[in-house]
Amino acid sequence: MQCDVCKKKPATVFLTQILGGKIQKVNLCESCSKEKGVADPTGFALTDLLLGVGNSDEVASPVGSARCPVCGFSQAELKKTGRLGCSACYDAFEEALGSLLKAMHKGTAHHGKVPARAMRSHELSRQVEALQDSLAKAVGDENYESAASLRDQIRQLELGLQPENG
Amino acid sequence: MNFDDLMGRTEHWLNSKGPQQHIVISTRIRFARNLAHRPFPGWSKRAERIQVLDEIKAPVEALPEMEGGFSQVLQDLTALERQVLVERHLISREHAAKGAGSAVVMNAQQSLSVMINEEDHLRMQAIRPGLQFRDAFESLDTMDTELELLLDYAYSPKLGYLTACPTNVGTGMRASAMLHLPALVLSDQMNPVIQAVNKIGLAVRGLYGEGTEALGNLFQVSNQTTLGESESDILQRLTRVVEQVISHEESARQVLLETKRTMVLDQIGRAYGVLSNAHSIASKEALNLLSLLRLGVDLHLMDDTWRLAIDRLLIDTQPAHLQRESRRKLAAEARDVMRASIIRTRLENASGPDFSSLPEIPPQTSENAEG
């Protein structure tokens, strides 16, 4: 298991913290655990640690001042409020959120309800992929008539995949 | 309907029977949803919030569930009216504090409510009497499925429903049961129960959610995590735990009756005495005494029909409800007088606890106590 902070060395310190009734888990290598002062569990918060604001050198790092390209929300604000600015922030702060989500939740991937729209576009993407495979094969076989018809079908499906305006 | 019409209707969950109602007062489930390509309410400008409100409000009002329901932007409700909705658990305390661009829509039965522009663009809730996770989930799921055809939700195949706070991402679902646990409290067993429930990733909170005190022996048990498990897995885990807490409370009641019979009956009798005769009573005392009286109903010392009447009083004696009833702002002392008067009036027709209806103490217990 890798260290959650440096992501290089193997983790040897496994920490579970209960904050306000919430269980958070973090795995650290020996040098990171010393650096973060994990020996003194009262003196630090897991969220700070995972968001890379544990010591002053890192606050100034470009990661801390990163902004969401869509809404302009910054990682410093995420640290301060624990909230995000828009749905695109999940991509913008993927790295910092990754360990946070891991510590907060049962898993890191959604296993619940899928909205009908997402289901439909997922289904369409799969169909497009399948048609693209057939298209490549048809081109390889120099079956251009069939390739042209497959290309038209793909275009048609891709129209349905475009996000609706609004 | 307007606010007065809404208040004229009794909430469905306070007016009907539900499973396990001797311990579970109500079940609530909420979904957090957001629109794609729009900043979350907390990071939106006023104009953006109003635009999102315009986009969401009409489709929500047009849902078949909301026919003949109530819909209002928060600005058009007085502070007192908002507080009444908070006391009924129809909107959150956070939502009550919101300004322009926020609204609430609910059905006439007050069993389904939608907050627009709370922390997320949409927070929808179903509430049911007793322990009914399945039923509450199904009605909310149906409404959500109707809405998702009309609104473009922020959703990622990997992370699920995207929410303003990462603690809600995934299913966006928070399910909770309001439990009445007087025997566990009276026998000092509540702390170990809270710790055990916390250990398996569920939260225990007071009457009005996060950071509130557990008044009236009322506790909310809810799921803490939303990502990595399906809705039905979460609800199954929660149901299992709630059922365990119920059986702990049941056995604690049995043990109390066997070992501390006099103390329990004394407390219930005194609760009835004070509630039916007091002329001024503070909110905290009222909640705690009503809790003991409810225990009396559960032990069959009073008729079963009093259970809903007591649950009704738990809500009707809250500060905003009292002030609405009296149609004026009341200082704390005046509220205490009015609270006592409402309780006295409602209990007028109650014949009081009938202690002779309790079965005798099993003989081996009394022998043990003597030896």
Name the residue ranges covered by the structural domains of chain B: 3-253, 260-370
Q: How near does any CA of chain B get to the CA of A148, in Å?
A: 32
| Residues from chain A contacting residue B120 (CB–CB below 8 Å) | none
Q: Using the beta-carbon criterion (under 8 Å), do B43 and A112 form an inter-chain contact?
A: no
Rounded average pLDDT over B102-112 = 95
Mean pLDDT is lowest, of A24-38, A128-142, B336-350, for A24-38
Phi, psi of B332 (to 5 degrees): -55, -40
Q: What is the pTM of this model?
A: 0.79
Q: Do B40 and A86 touch (CB under 8 A)?
A: yes
Identify all chain B residues contacting A79, using CB atoms and an 8 Å cutoff: none
Chain B residues with beta carbon closer than 8 angstroms to that of A25: none
Which among A100, A107, A166 is the nearest to B166, CB-wise?
A100
Query: How far is residue B139 from each of residues A29, B132, B254, B281, measured CA to CA in Å?
Result: 48, 11, 36, 39
Kindly state the tokens that stand for B179: 């439990």
- For residue A41, the 8-state DSSP code is G
CB A90 within 8 A of CB B162: yes
Which residue in the block uniquely carries the two structure tokens 């289904």? Answer: A123
Residue owning tokens 């996060």: B210
Q: Rounded distance, CA A94 to CA A76, Å? A: 14
CA distance B288 to chain A (A): 25
Assigned CATH topology for domain B3-253: Creatine Kinase; Chain A, domain 2 (3.30.590)
Q: Which of A19, A75, A97, A111 to mutate to test the interface with B (most CBs of B within 10 A)?
A: A111
Q: Give yes or no for residue B144 having a pLDDT over 50.
A: yes
Q: Please give the interface size between A and B, counted as residue pairs whose CB atoms are below 8 Å apart.
A: 130
Nearest chain A residue to B163 by CA distance is A87
Least confident of A14-18, B156-160, B210-214, B299-303: B210-214
**Chain A residues within 8 A (CB-CB) of chain B?**
18, 21-23, 71, 73, 81-87, 90, 97, 100-101, 104-118, 122, 163-164, 166
Mutate to test the interface with A, among B120, B167, B232 (most CBs of A within 10 A): B167
Name which of A87, A111, A116 is nearest B145 (Cβ-Cβ). Answer: A116
Among left, alpha and beta (phi > 0; psi -120 to 50; other), residue B27 is beta
Continuous H helices in A51-164: 56-59, 75-81, 89-92, 94-104, 116-140, 144-161
Using the predicted structure, report yes or no on whether residue B41 has a pLDDT greater than 70: yes
Label residues B247-268 b or e (16+ Cβ within 10 Å = b).
ebbeebbeebbeeeeeebbebb
Q: Interface pTM (ipTM) of the complex?
A: 0.85
Predicted local distance difference test score (pLDDT) of residue A44? 46
Residue A162 has pLDDT above 60, yes or no: yes
Is a pLDDT exceeding 90 seen at residue B182? yes
Q: How far is B331 from chain A (nearest CA, A)?
A: 34
Kindly indicate the confidence band of residue B365, based on its pLDDT and cuts at 50, 70 and 90.
very low
Nearest C-alpha in B relative to A85: B43
CA dihedral B131, B137, B142, B144 (to 10 degrees): 130
What does the radius of gyration of chain B's CA atoms come to, in whole angstroms? 22
pLDDT band at A6 (very low <50, low <70, confident <90, very high): confident
- Alpha-carbon distance values, B177 to B13, B27, B202, B224, B316 (Å): 13, 4, 11, 13, 20
pLDDT for B370 equals 42
Residues A92-150 have pLDDT tens digits of 999 889 988 998 899 999 999 999 877 777 777 778 888 899 999 999 999 998 999 99
Residue B93 in this model has a pLDDT that exceeds 50: yes
SS3 A95: helix
Cβ-Cβ contacts under 8 Å for A146 (sequence gap 6 or more): A138
Q: What is the pLDDT of residue B206?
A: 76
Q: Looking at residue A38, what is its pLDDT?
A: 56
Cα of B138 to nearest chain A Cα, Å: 12
- Joined together, the tokens standing for residue B122 give 């949409």
